[in-house]
């Protein structure tokens, strides 16, 4: 009789141990699944048409290699993974493929905010004007020598940052890096910094004060009101 009880107790102890192990693993496992990825540039030249038209991946007949995964294609995929928001803080933005990705998100209804450098927003080849014309809310930093960041936050959870400006030379010619992470201790400070810079460069600050608004600051009417919520 006591043997049965002992075995029963053993089974209960084992079950409890397994249950506790399971709970512990479930609590600790998410850290291991956090996305951490590094891309290096210059990227190989390859067609990226299939990333923009995944429903018809063989629709492009350009002379570039097709179906090849490159650092640029990975970067585009990460940007296009946005479901509801993209906060972009970039010094120079002249790359056509990256512009196309941002416009594709905008046409899907993703809320986009772009913060850029006041001088580089107006250089030849800059795509900042195209974004503004499309109705995307753009602000230029007025408080520093250069607004030299090159980061983006996708859906408030994925950080894309590194040395890479969003230009053709950076993507195809330079030695560059992009670090992509979901690690909250890295993502959260960038979200906070974006918010701080966004608020600091709010054109309303100039409209509501006696300060003269610099010519390169986007007027508030160019920004949809709901963009200011993020």
Instruction: Put the strands of the sheet holding 150-154 in their side by side order.
Output: 137-141, 111-117, 85-90, 150-154, 158-162
Q: Exposed (0-12), middle (13-18) or buried (19+): which is 23, by Cβ within 10 Å?
A: exposed
Which range of residues in 50-58, 178-186, 205-213, 215-223 is near a second copy by CB under 8 A?
178-186
**x/- letters, 136..175, toward a second copy (CB under 8 A):** -----x-xxxxxxxxx---------xxxx----xx--xxx
DSSP string, 32-65: HHS-EEEEEESPPP---HHHH-TTSTT----SS-
- Cβ-based nearer residue to a second copy, 49 or 201: 201
Give the integer Cα–Cα distance in Å for 138 and 227.
10
- At its nearest, how many Å lie between a second copy and the CB of residue 109? 29
Give the residue among 47, 87, 91, 36 at the shortest CA–CA distance from 69: 47
Neighbours of 90 (CB within 10 A): 24
Question: Of residues 120-139, which lie at the interface with a second copy (CB under 8 A)?
Answer: none
Least distance (Å) from a second copy to the CB of residue 166?
12
Q: Is 91 in the site for a second copy (CB under 8 A)?
A: yes
Catalytic residues, by residue number, are 148, 150, 155
Binding-site ranges for a second copy (CB under 8 A): 2, 5-6, 9-10, 13-14, 16-17, 20-21, 24-25, 28, 31-32, 36-38, 40, 42, 91, 141, 143-151, 161-164, 169-170, 173-177, 179, 181, 183, 185-186, 189-190, 193, 197
């Amino acid at each position: 009789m006591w043997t049965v009880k002992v075995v029963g107790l053993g089974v209960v102890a084992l079950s409890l141990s397994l249950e506790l192990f399971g709970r512990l693993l479930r609590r600790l496992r998410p850290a291991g699944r956090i996305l951490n990825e590094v891309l290096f540039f210059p990227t190989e030249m390859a067609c990226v048409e299939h990333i923009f038209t995944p429903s018809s991946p063989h629709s492009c007949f350009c002379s570039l290699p097709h179906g090849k995964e490159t650092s640029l294609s990975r970067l585009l995929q990460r940007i296009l993974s946005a479901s509801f928001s993209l906060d972009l803080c970039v010094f120079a933005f002249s790359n056509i493929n990256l512009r196309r990705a941002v416009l594709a998100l905008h046409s899907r209804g993703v809320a986009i905010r772009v913060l850029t450098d006041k001088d580089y927003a107006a250089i030849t080849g800059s795509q900042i004007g195209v974004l503004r014309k499309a109705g995307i809310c753009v602000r230029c930093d007025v408080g520093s020598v250069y607004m030299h960041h090159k980061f983006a936050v996708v859906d408030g959870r994925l950080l894309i940052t590194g040395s890479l400006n969003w230009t053709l030379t950076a993507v195809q010619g330079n030695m560059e890096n992009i670090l992509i992470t979901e690690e909250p201790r890295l993502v959260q400070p960038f979200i906070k910094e974006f918010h701080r810079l966004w608020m600091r460069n709010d054109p309303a600050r100039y409209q509501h004060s006696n300060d003269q608004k610099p010519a390169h600051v986007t007027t508030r009417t160019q920004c949809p009101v709901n963009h200011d919520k993020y």
